[in-house]
Amino acid sequence: MESSARLLRTSFQTLILLCLMGILGLLADRHIKTFYESARLSRAELASLTPHLSGKSASERIEECEVKPLRGILYFFGYFRQDLYPCENKENVGGTEASALLGLIKFRDGDKWVCTDEGVGPAARDCLVYSFGINYEWSFDDAMAERGCKVFSFDPTMQSPDHQRSENVMFLKLGISNFTGHQVIAGVQSKVARLPDIMARLGHTGREIDYLKIDIEGMEVAVLQDLLLRDPDILASVKQIGMEIHPGFYKDEDVTKPDNIFHQYWNLFQLLDCMGFRLIHWNKNEYKGNHYIWRGKKRAACYEVVYVRVVNDSGMS
């Protein structure tokens, strides 16, 4: 009788503990939601950013950028719950059906979202696209070329030499990195270069890049850190960034440490914001192997994000 009462008491205590944990989880989620709701801006409200950004160089914006530390993983996940910058004309460009595990898993790959609003969208002619990371999937590059853009495609892992793929698409067996030289990528010694060096090689120094596609399997952290901290003027000449980010699976590690990958992405998000870039689109990568469940919700080890630069040196774009 006594053991039955003890068992009942233990079960009741466990139930109370689970309820408390659930309530704390809901309160934490509500706090995160409030945190992002307080930062929501309409297109009209974005004009208030002009006094803080206009008339300042890219270097000054980075120096004055108040980068706040990542307080917990929910803030990182909450980044993808914010209201997006209101791009009125957004198009999904390129993409093909792909499969994995002998065709058992099907997903779409290679597509990127592009904002075509006046002022930020690629011009009908004389637009410039840099596309890093091809892996023989040309749909986005070819589609942008059909729109009249000059597209420069880069991938050091492909077994293809430099060549003119079409009238408007040029391929270079070269990778982007935070230094110029050689780097082992996917087990292969590859030629890499910093973006300013690539632009100088192609005669594009000082040119505006209408769309910068970055799909480089995790190297985007080092590349963006390099550009934001050493050459922010280069990014200030980019109108849109379509990027695949690879934070990986969250395994209950301490995300407050500066060397944590989630913390590093968190810093990049804020630096891009200070540069005048606004998130217009995000989605979990469609490949199911990138998905996992944490706290009862589906998360992803890989996200697609697209930014437009809505503030330039003279104010609103």
End-to-end CA distance of the chain: 76
Residue 101 has pLDDT above 70, yes or no: no
**pLDDT tens-digit map of 279-316:** 999 999 888 889 999 999 999 999 999 999 987 655 54
The span from the CA of 60 to the CA of 65, in Å, is 8
pLDDT above 70 as % of the chain: 77
User: Under 8 Å CB-to-CB from 190, ≥6 apart: which residues?
Assistant: 156, 157, 175, 182, 183, 184
Query: Is 178 within 8 Å of 222 (Cβ atoms)?
Result: yes
The predicted pLDDT at position 70 comes to 96
The overall average pLDDT reported for the chain is: 84
pTM of the model: 0.82
Residue 78 has pLDDT above 90, yes or no: yes
Q: What angle do CA 298, 304, 306 make, to 5 degrees?
A: 135
Closest alpha carbon to 152 in 137, 132, 180: 132
Band (317; pLDDT cuts 50, 70, 90): low
The span from the CA of 52 to the CA of 205, in Å, is 27
The predicted pLDDT at position 106 comes to 57
The span from the CA of 213 to the CA of 242, in Å, is 5
Provide the CATH topology of domain 45-316: Rossmann fold (3.40.50)
Tell me the mean pLDDT in the region 159-188: 96
The span from the CA of 310 to the CA of 47, in Å, is 10
Please report, for the chain, the start and end positions of each structural domain, with discontinuous segments joined by +: 1-38, 45-316
Residue 236 has pLDDT above 80, yes or no: yes
Largest pairwise CA distance in the chain:
87
SS3 147: coil
Tell me the mean pLDDT in the region 62-84: 94
User: Under 8 Å CB-to-CB from 317, ≥6 apart: which residues?
Assistant: 119, 120, 239, 276, 308, 309, 310, 311
Taking the CB of residue 140, how many other CB atoms lie within 10 A of it? Answer: 26
Helix ranges, 39-185 (H) = 50-53, 58-64, 73-78, 139-146
Band (96; pLDDT cuts 50, 70, 90): confident
The predicted pLDDT at position 313 comes to 58
Q: Is residue 116 exposed (0-12), middle (13-18) or buried (19+ Cβ within 10 Å)? A: middle
Residue 185 has pLDDT above 80, yes or no: yes
Band (119; pLDDT cuts 50, 70, 90): confident
The predicted pLDDT at position 8 comes to 55
Band (83; pLDDT cuts 50, 70, 90): confident
Q: Is residue 36 exposed (0-12), middle (13-18) or buried (19+ Cβ within 10 Å)? A: middle
The span from the CA of 183 to the CA of 185, in Å, is 6
The span from the CA of 109 to the CA of 97, in Å, is 6
Range with lowest mean pLDDT among 9-18, 34-43, 97-106, 278-287: 34-43
